[in-house]
Amino acid sequence: MKTSEIEKLKYPIGEFKTPDNITKAHINTWISDIETFPNSIETETKTLSEAELNYNYRPNGWNIRQVVHHCADSHINCITRFKLALTDDAPTIRAYYEDRWATLADYEQNINTALDILKGVHAKLCILLRS
């Protein structure tokens, strides 16, 4: 598979392009996107079969189930880092091995728990972002 084809699979809507001038409208749109993300993921995945959830949509990539579980874990880390940045004088942002987390037993389970986590984390995160 060509590099350009892999890039399209990695970034199906394209890579993020930072605007030259970030406005309040940009920020409000981004917060809205964060707020609606969990429901969007739920809508996209609710009719998928087990086989479809286990589908790897790109070579050497995660399956759909792993991506949903990764989003929950990644966004838990996001809100934790955000709160540390807001409250600590010199916060240390700790890295984690996403690829190793994706091999743990919870990534093989039903995605409903991950969706529930996303809904809660995003609700709390949007309150903070709007403040």
Give the pLDDT confidence of 75-128 residue by residue, as tens digits.
999 999 999 999 999 998 889 999 999 999 999 999 999 999 999 999 999 999
How much is the average pLDDT of 32-45?
97
> What integer best gives the mean pLDDT of the chain?
93
| Residue 102: per-residue pLDDT | 93
Helices 64-87 and 24-45, axial angle in degrees (round to 10): 150
- Asked if 9 contacts 61 with a C-beta cutoff of 8 angstroms, the reply is yes
Using DSSP, state whether 62 is helix, strand or coil.
coil
Using DSSP, state whether 110 is helix, strand or coil.
coil
- Asked if 71 contacts 114 with a C-beta cutoff of 8 angstroms, the reply is yes
- In CATH, what number does 17-130 get? 1.20.120.450
| Residue 58: per-residue pLDDT | 83
User: pTM to 2 decimals?
Assistant: 0.87
Which of 125, 17, 130, 127 is closest to 75 using CA atoms?
125
Domain boundaries defined on the chain = 17-130
